[in-house]
Amino acid sequence: MQSLRYILLPILATTLSFAQSSGTEDRAIPGTLPSYEPITAQQRLDWFAESSFGPASLLGGVVSAGYGTLINRPVEYGTHWEGFGDRYGMRLTGVLTSNALEAGLCAIWGEDPRYPRDEGKPLKNRIAHTIKWTFVAKDRDGNTVPAYALYIATAGNNFLSNTWRESSEADTSHALERTAMGFLARLTGNTWHEFWPDVKEKLFHRNDSRGLP
């Protein structure tokens, strides 16, 4: 529990900081065309599918299940391939539940869960951008607001899952730990979306260049 304090307190401090500055930095200048286009219903479905079954999520599941198998947590699953599968499946049910809750809440009050890249900016700015958008989102007017749907979905899913998890980790302490890890997972996903397109472009461009006569 002591370690969770150092994880959750920065999250709260960051949220309050962005809440104070929201609604000003992203508003369009009067007389100009707005740069933000509200998310559509189809785009919400696409976000749910990508967040649940995209490369970042599936790879994260392999890492999470593999580490859990290595340290045998929860102990009920054991350290074999079947245990790996159980851990992977348990994580996937949590991801699906959390993403479904977030997508539904976002649709109700017009929050946009998508990550906006900060392409072309200096590296330190882009890293700061991935951290910022772990805790904030756009509302239906394009203003930056705390990502309330994410907060509720992440915490709600991890406490709700206590009802079907193994007894060794079905308690408040583990639910809080999983909630903190949920924010870390969102940060990891943001980092993937921010930098993977650049890496992919360089890799494919290099391969194409080698194929030229």
> How much is the pLDDT for 25?
43
Predicted confidence band at 111 (pLDDT cuts at 50, 70, 90)?
very high
> How much is the pLDDT for 23?
41
Side-chain-facing half-sphere of 113: CA atoms under 13 Å:
32
Predicted confidence band at 15 (pLDDT cuts at 50, 70, 90)?
very low
Contacts of 22 (CB under 8 A, 6+ apart): 136, 143, 144, 145, 146
117-162 pLDDT, tens per residue?
999 999 999 999 999 999 999 999 999 999 999 999 999 999 999 9
Q: How far is CA 94 from the centre of its chain?
A: 13
> How much is the pLDDT for 163?
92
Nearest CA to 155 out of 105, 85, 192, 88 is that of 105
Q: Are 103 and 113 in contact (CB under 8 A)?
A: yes
- pLDDT exceeds 80 at position 17: no
53-77 pLDDT, tens per residue?
999 899 999 999 999 999 999 999 9
156-185 pLDDT, tens per residue?
999 999 999 999 999 999 999 999 999 999
Q: How far apart are CA 189 and CA 55, in angstroms?
A: 10
Q: Which two tokens stand for residue 212?
A: 């030229």
CA dihedral for 183, 191, 111, 142, sign (positive or negative): positive
Note the pTM of the prediction, 2 decimals: 0.77
> How much is the pLDDT for 2?
44
